[in-house]
A and B are shown apart, each in its own frame.
Chain A
Amino acid sequence: MKLLALQRRMARAVMAPLTQSERMRRFTRDGHPMARVAEQIIKPNDRLTSFERLEIYNRQYWFRVLDGFSEDFPGLRAVLGDRRFDAVAKAYLTDCPSHSFTMRNLGSRLESWLRKHPGHAGGRLELALDMVRLEWAEIEAFDGGAESALKPNELAGADPAKLHLRVQPYVHLLDLRYPVDDLLLAIKHETGTDVASNAFNERQKRKKVSAVARLKPAEVYLAVHRIDYFVYFRRLEREEFAILRALQKGRTLDGAIDLGFRSSAIPASERAARAAGWFQNWASLGWFVSEARPSQ
């Protein structure tokens, strides 16, 4: 058997879903006995059959990717509950195996997958999607690129109608329908504890479930960003969000501000001062990239 053919056959077996009791399935997806597949490629030894030897790799694969996925999405677990979350993890990773050299990207397709498989969210689709978007943004903000921050004197004499401000790559903007930022912070606070008694864990679990149950829809505009290498969530006003998003999309400064205040309830007389305050905050956080470029 040629190398590529052998690797394809083994990879199919290794990445095939496990049974409920976390063992290798007896049959492949197309109905062939897995024992026969194993015997064709793997030698038995005096202690293990070919099937058992292949099963070591099959189980290792799933334990590894499920662990990685669980670490990345504790908030989604809280929203869905353990049983439904485990089902989502297995179904998602079966449909969307890793296409990256790094496990960091395991969840990169989760939002689009969940949109295509809304039944997995069990009536909490919007909440689950918001949480997935937040947790993925957190991963991206944690190790996203950073460029030199804009210095105040760089803007001297710039024409706002032609000025393009670039937002740092690690700043991620989210428009959410639920305050999942509060929920995720509460979950992280709880799981950050070193206390490990069963009773304590049970109490924490109940608190988490009730926190999810209490979560009411609310329009939230959020920036997920970094300060000193730690990720933070910053709530934004709707207009702030719209201006920043327009800048990210390449609008000029003037164009972004116009867009930001479109259908805004903020009185026209107050807008200049509000915008100036926001820009001051964003600049002090280092959100704008140096070397602002005039439009061509």
Chain B
Amino acid sequence: MPANRFNGFTNYGVGIGLRAPHYEHILTRKPVCDWFEIISENYMIDGGRPLHILDEILERYRVVQHGVSMYFGSAERPNREHLRRLKTLVQRTKTPWVSDHLCWGSVDGRYTHDLLPMPYTFEAARLTAQKIGEVRDFLEVPVVVENVSSYAEFHVSEMTEWEFLNEVVEQADCGILLDVNNIYVSSQNHNFDPFTYVNSVPAERVAQMHIAGHSKYRKYILDTHDHPVIDPVWKLYDRAIQRIGHTATLLEWDDRIPSFDEVHKEALKANKFLTSASLAAAV
């Protein structure tokens, strides 16, 4: 399922997140990298160095936008200023799709700047799907939603997380950014089988995958993006790729960021699984 209407019919391979500590390396060494994912909010500004760097990157590389504060699941309407700035950036980067999280994080105009978990209710699914549609119509590019890591579950939930994800994407008719590290983290925190989640995702809607590392504490796991990907997450990724096929894959590394080469090398481990999936499909 590599190219589909949710990723603008593209066939991207393995990319990494564009982060400031790597700017100089990328601009001077011009390493081969299939694509970069940017955090949209870092570039939704009027001018200055971040946009200048982005323009230089855009001259040489493919860039996809990933947001952290659209909060599709917040009960309030989308912030118009946010939408306006996001669209301006979409026009600048020509991103084939825009992703953000299936979560909430703001209420009554106050922002937590966190990815808070959804209550898995039919009401929440309906409101979230409406909002995704509204954002997509405004931006005029495919919008895909990412499953988040969570540390809490709500009494009011009426379904599992994967059922909620399916409900939202069906109602919104949108794509999925499947983060297998987030599935693993949540499975450990909430005692479910992560393979049940991966096997339940509508493969035809997956536009992109995320992989990342996390931190293990005594009683829970935190999604910290500051370590290499662990084996159980690679196994989950392998299973997902077997089901979905060769899919654009992105390694997130946001804290204690090592050299560009180290991050890229870790990301490229995904190629082993992508290649075998492609071979299996060919056979």
List A residues at the B interface (Cβ < 8 Å): 1-4, 6-8, 10-11, 14-15, 40-43, 45-48, 50, 52-54, 56-57, 60-61, 64-65, 68, 97-104, 142-146, 169-170, 226, 229-230
Contact = CB atoms under 8 A, between A and B. Distances in A.
Contacts, number: 124
A43 B74 contact: no
25 contacts: A1-B156, A3-B75, A3-B121, A3-B124, A7-B75, A11-B107, A41-B156, A43-B153, A45-B189, A47-B220, A52-B219, A56-B152, A56-B220, A57-B116, A97-B110, A99-B109, A101-B44, A101-B81, A101-B111, A143-B45, A145-B47, A146-B48, A229-B48, A229-B49, A229-B52
A54 B111 CA distance: 17
B69 to A, nearest CB: 4
B113 A65 contact: yes
A4 B107 contact: yes
B79 interface: yes
A8 B108 contact: yes
A11 to B, nearest CB: 5
B258 interface: no
A102 B152 contact: no
Contact of B110 (A1, A60, A99, A146): A99
A291 B82 CA distance: 29
Given A11-B112, A60-B114, A61-B114, A42 B152 contact: yes
B256 interface: no
B41 interface: yes
Given A60-B114, A97-B111, 12 more contacts: A3-B121, A8-B108, A43-B153, A47-B220, A54-B152, A57-B116, A57-B152, A99-B109, A101-B41, A104-B45, A143-B48, A230-B49
B105 to A, nearest CB: 9
B235 interface: no
Contacts of A42: 152-155
Contacts of B76: 4
A144 B46 CA distance: 5
A104 B152 CA distance: 28
B151 interface: yes
Contacts of A98: 110-113
B104 interface: yes
Closest 5 A-B residue pairs measured CB to CB? A145-B46, A229-B49, A143-B48, A4-B75, A143-B45
Contacts of A40: 155
A1 to B, nearest CB: 5
A42 B151 CA distance: 10
A100 B151 contact: no
A65 B112 CA distance: 8
Nearest to B41: A102
Chain B CB count within 10 A is highest, among A11, A56, A61, A65, for A11
A69 to B, nearest CB: 11
A2 B112 CA distance: 20
Given A2-B123, A45-B190, A142-B48, A64 B110 contact: no
Category for how many chain B residues contact A? 35 or more
B144 interface: no
B154 A41 contact: yes
Given A1-B156, A6-B154, A11-B112, A46 B191 contact: yes
B123 A170 contact: no
Interface in B32-62: 41, 44-52
Interface in B145-179: 151-156
B151 A170 contact: no
Given A47-B220, A98-B113, A103-B113, A144 B79 contact: no
Contacts of B69: 101-102
A57 B75 contact: no
B155 A41 contact: yes
B224 to A, nearest CB: 11
A3 B47 CA distance: 37
B153 A3 contact: no
Nearest to A5: B75
A102 B191 CA distance: 34
B119 interface: yes
B102 interface: no
B155 to A, nearest CB: 6
A73 to B, nearest CB: 17
Contact of A7 (B41, B70, B81, B104): B104
A6 B157 CA distance: 11
B58 to A, nearest CB: 16
Contacts of B119: 1, 3, 6
A104 B39 CA distance: 13
A14 B113 CA distance: 11
B207 interface: no
A10 B74 CA distance: 12
A182 to B, nearest CB: 24
With most chain B CB atoms within 10 A of its CB, the pick from A2, A6, A8, A48 is: A6
A98 B50 CA distance: 22
B141 interface: no
